[in-house]
Chain A
């Protein structure tokens, strides 16, 4: 099940929240585990089988590693970590690259589990003897589909004591609604536009850029919207998950961008791959190798095609360039130019991300710069751009921090000095209107006509 499913929003989530709040403290974790299992089994009970085996396996493995370490058997612990890691990656590999029915969010699930194994090995934490708590950590349904990837270290204490409060509930609901609207009212609409503008056999330069604009905005609003929903739901259940995005399209360098985009994945690789390889405290050539290894792995994590690997290496290359070659000089440039240059590099990178093959990516990039394009501009570019101008405008604005500042200034700081009741009324009115639109959009999305017979 996905968060923008109408059944999830209006039935599954409210029911599980209600039950969770009503049962006594002792029963809360079991309820959460049950909700997670229910959520997971929505894709079919088959999936539950593999996840079940994996959960038990990793739970036992964590205790084993800890026991080896406690008994001073370092070698055994190392072998154990490597083999458990290999087993998990093998399972991910089989599901992701060699099977046509992958359980939901398998990539995220695997990294969640590995985080636990590594944290136990590195003595960041003890093993989780309580199976229920372990189960809740790995199947915690708000984050199970597309993150954020919560490191075990960060979640361990929260499993012992969840912090239910009205304050958390309020913030959680607000974040969930905001994320839902980002996903449904912006990302999904732009997704249709992107599919439409790239559907033809030929493209003009302008169409290629408009298409890239659609995709870049769609990806951000889709992913960050989904993260907001996840963080919001977690908060409703009394769990704290760190933000996954921090206005990434306002970044002033490619390195900066990757500290602000999908933060939890970057952190994961930093803690469990980059630092163990020596991080920055090694000779230059090793730093280069380490960085490129991390970015190769990042590409691989996203998908098995060459385009993802190239995309990973492309980003790694620019990060190194920034770090060792142009960084000093780049920092002296005006902030606007730096943001623009970063956007340029990142967005060209998305071409590899959305193209199914390298040939397609090459063709698209060529078109962006006039090679193989059908002309500079055409009615197709104008048509899509002008029809979606309102959504583009809102989305671009939403990429800046300005939107949030203005919102807070009007409604929380009451910058215009409006009557308090009117102010609240306007805020709630707008939210209800947007919520109604969101429902209309979701229900409208299921509208499908079978027209052929009528011609």
Chain B
């Protein structure tokens, strides 16, 4: 039988088959119609019933509310855009949808989610930043000229590469990771001999199997900070005995900023704080708010999303710690947030510690040095900040 014949006279079987195909196709497609209909009705009801959320902790931003109509906003379309934003920001189970998206991304092989490296063992890593030439060189030469201008002050620097450069075996092998360890070494080499330089990466690498970095936050843990202080004590000119501290676990329910940024809740972290067993009292003064506190730990922050801010309640332009140590030493600490968990281990060795965060501090630093009779200066930084932010060199200018 030729092909044409077959087309003209299909067998009984073929007709049956064609009918079955048609029936199935219609049936399945018919059910498809239900999917968007059910979804539309469900989400319409959910949107009306669920209360509006004001703020997203994970994103650290205000969520869109229903827009106000005005002549202007109707004409330029911002009112309608506002409705779109409102609908998606107030979408029911929004956080769960986002987690689902991130989870599926990782499951199908994505290893960098919203700029966060997804490592093994529940570890998330901030990407080690490529140094910006301007920031790298300016900060370096600013520190050198600061040292030249203050020959009588003992100056040291603790610089930490990103966690991904230290916990290398937890970083996926198929992605590019900037070797910040080398950047840190190079930075140290370019500093003058007057500065006692410590690459914290070397100290931390020796203990890389311990809990030295949070799994879901870019900061080192208190244990990591302790490791660094132990190793750096000689350079700092202190006789630190970090065994002489009591440990308190203040939370076991910490999802850090990397968790927020990626939308992935890979693991829970715990935060420890330490208190010296020595008989040294202290109080803390926050210059920006002129608040005095008897503790460097702010337990209110443990109720919030970013629990790392339990140390000093986060970053401030200038914080003073006054102690009863009577060592005759006064420390000026230039720092980013990594240093916030260092101070708990070094306060017993100084009479006064002045913490300055150059990203928020715009006053004349030479006055601070004079008024507080500064004998020691410590620069404590992470590479991701120091190599990309020029505020330190701005702050040191003219000091």
Contacts and interface: CB of A to CB of B under 8 A. Distances in A.
Interface of A: 1, 5-7, 9-11, 13-14, 41-47, 166-167, 169-171, 173-174, 176-177, 378-380, 382-383, 386-391, 411-414, 420, 423-424, 427-428, 431-432, 435-437, 439-444, 446-451, 453-455
B35 A431 contact: yes
5 contacts: A14-B40, A44-B75, A177-B36, A383-B174, A453-B60
B4 to A, nearest CB: 23
Interface of B: 17, 20-21, 24-33, 35-37, 39-40, 43-44, 58-61, 74-78, 80, 83-85, 87-89, 91, 94, 97-98, 100-102, 104, 108-112, 114, 174-176, 218, 257, 260-261, 263, 306, 314-315, 336-337, 384-385
Q: Which of A45, A380, A435, A451 gathers most chain B CB within 10 Å?
A: A451
Give the secondary structure class of B's interface: helix
B60 A177 contact: no
A444 B174 contact: no
Contact of B176 (A379, A437, A454): A379
B175 A11 contact: no
B176 A427 contact: no
Given A10-B39, A44-B80, A446-B88, A428 B28 contact: yes
A451 B97 contact: no
Given A170-B30, A420-B24, 6 more contacts: A383-B174, A428-B35, A437-B100, A444-B102, A446-B89, A455-B336
Contacts of A455: 218, 315, 336-337, 384-385
Contact of A11 (B44, B74, B76, B98): B44
A444 B44 contact: no
Contact of B28 (A14, A44, A427): A427
Given A1-B84, A44-B76, A177-B35, A387 B385 contact: no
Contacts of A177: 32, 35-36
Given A7-B84, A380-B176, A451 B60 contact: yes
A11 B88 contact: no
A95 to B, nearest CB: 15
Contact of A451 (B80, B110, B261, B385): B261
Given A6-B87, A11-B87, A450 B59 contact: yes
A170 B100 CA distance: 29
B88 A443 contact: yes
B58 A46 contact: no
Give the secondary structure class of A's interface: helix
Nearest to A394: B108
Contacts of A448: 59, 61
Contacts of B315: 453, 455
A11 B44 CA distance: 8
Nearest to B93: A443
B109 A443 contact: no
Nearest to B96: A440
Contacts of B17: 413
A447 B59 contact: yes
B196 to A, nearest CB: 25
Contacts of A5: 84
Given A450-B60, A453-B60, A46 B77 contact: yes
Contacts of B336: 455
Nearest to A391: B108
B101 A440 contact: yes
Contact of A379 (B26, B29, B85, B175): B175
Contacts of B37: 14
Contacts of B76: 44, 46
A444 B43 contact: no
Contacts of B74: 44-45
Contacts of A414: 20, 24
Contacts of B87: 6-7, 10-11
Contacts of A388: 109-110
A279 B32 CA distance: 45
B263 A447 contact: yes
Given A379-B176, A387-B109, A451-B257, A442 B88 contact: yes
Contacts of A173: 29, 32-33, 35-36
Nearest to B126: A455
B64 to A, nearest CB: 9
Contacts of A437: 100-101, 104
Contacts of A431: 32, 35
Contacts of B20: 414
Contacts of A439: 39, 97
